[in-house]
Amino acid sequence: MSSTQALADFAHALANGAITVIDLTQTLSEDTPLLVLPEPFGQTAAFSREEISRYDDRGIAWHWNNFTVGEHTGTHFDAPIHWVSGKDLPDNSVDQVPVSKLIGPAFVLDFSAECAADPDFLLTADHIGDWEAAHGAITPGSWVLFRTDWSKRDTEAYTNRREDGAHTPGPATDAIRFLIEERNIMGFGVETIGTDAGQAHLLTPPYPAHTLLHGAGKYGLQCLENLDKLPATGAILIAPPLKIRDGSGSPLRVLALVAE
């Protein structure tokens, strides 16, 4: 099949519904839950907006707003420059990430039952090995999406903050090492606010997803939803962040293409 034919077939499949588009994005609003760091660290800004006009004296026929938001608020992309381990890599900011890397196959690892039983569940390399035995090996250049069903929780249960910080699932260090070194993934996406577990400051190294993924030039996606609507293998993920000069990340729309 020629490349031209492949695109024509793709357009036809989109038009006739053989391929559907799934939105993996949280709605961004003033209510979007935020990551909260302990004192004395700086905090990401909540989404806020001011109305410029809404078909009124300030603009008789048009509606528009100015908005303020952190680079890491709501459904968002993490670029390698976000972490100190990736600060000297080439093409490490959102404006420099090669566009060919913003679309790729998705492997969806469903550990929602384990996470329901244990909010501090850590995905290990052994868990991934078991998953691959059932579904096949994760291919190079892929997004690995960690399904926890966390996006189905209300805000309090979603952030799950206690005296000692957030209690939310994430990857163990050996899982991240395996995905980088043995599978050469493109990135790791989660439903929770961070790619790391809520208690990942206690792991070695602390925050292994951020430290190791970004140090290896890999990307992160956070605050995804609708992962339960994706097949374990076969979906294509589209995740282009805003082109912010030297930006460490950005809110974005994340889409998945799924064959019916």
Q: What is the DSSP string of 17-83?
A: TSEEEEE-BPPPSTT-----PPTTS--PPPPEEEEEEEEETTEEEEEEEEEE--TTSSSEEE-GGGS
Choose the stretch contacting Mn ion; rule: CB under 5 A; options: 48-56, 70-78, 85-93, 144-152.
70-78
Q: Which residues contact 4 (CB under 8 A, 6 or more apart)?
A: none
Q: From CA 86, how far away is CA 242, in angstroms rounded?
A: 19
Q: Active-site residue among 72, 82, 210, 214?
A: 82
82 as an active site residue: the answer is: yes
Does the protein bind Mn ion through residue 72 (CB under 5 A)? yes
Does the protein bind Mn ion through residue 78 (CB under 5 A)? yes
Minimal CB distance residue for Mn ion? 72
Question: Residue 76 CB, nearest distance to Mn ion (Å)?
Answer: 6
Number of residues that bind Mn ion (CB under 5 A): 2
DSSP letter, residue 127:
H
Q: Which is nearer to Mn ion, 179 or 190 (CB)?
A: 190
Question: Residue 249 CB, nearest distance to Mn ion (Å)?
Answer: 5
Residue 96 φ/ψ region, left for φ over 0, alpha for ψ in the -120 to 50 degree band, beta for the rest: alpha
Q: Which is nearer to Mn ion, 199 or 250 (CB)?
A: 250
Instruction: Give the footprint of Mn ion on this chain (CB under 5 A).
Output: 72, 78
Q: Which residues are catalytic?
A: 82
